Amino acid sequence: MVSYEVRMWLLSMATMSVVSWVATASSLLILIDADRLTGHAAVLLLVWIVAVSVPVTFHTILYWRRVRTTRRVLALGRQHDTVVRGFAEEITSLR
């Protein structure tokens, strides 16, 4: 099972991702609405997107996939354990 700390870390990463994308979108809308989307402001906004939003989102998606894979592997392990115990009981009953 995935530990509580890992789940909380992933939740905080997902929250950071959402907040960073909302901040980026709101900044862009404010600049467009105020007709102040200059080249300098656009470059700063692009730096913000590249430096914060994209890496945080990438890591969040990557680690959520790892968590899902871990859960699938653990479920498969439980299925195999059940099958092996069934075989063991059948072999024991044949003796």
pTM assigned to the model: 0.54
The percentage of the chain sitting over the pLDDT mark of 90, rounded to a whole number, equals 15
Listed as own residue / partner, the contacts of 1-9 with beta carbons closer than 8 Å and 24 or more positions apart are 1/74, 2/67, 2/70, 2/71, 6/67, 7/67
Between the two ends of the chain, the Cα-to-Cα distance in Å is 37
Residue 1, pLDDT > 80, answer: no
The angle at the Cα of 57, spanning 16 to 30, to the nearest 5 degrees, equals 65
Closest among 27, 66, 65, 72 to 45, alpha carbons compared = 27
Section 26-49 average pLDDT: 82
pLDDT tens digits, residue range 47-76? 888 887 888 888 888 888 888 898 899 899
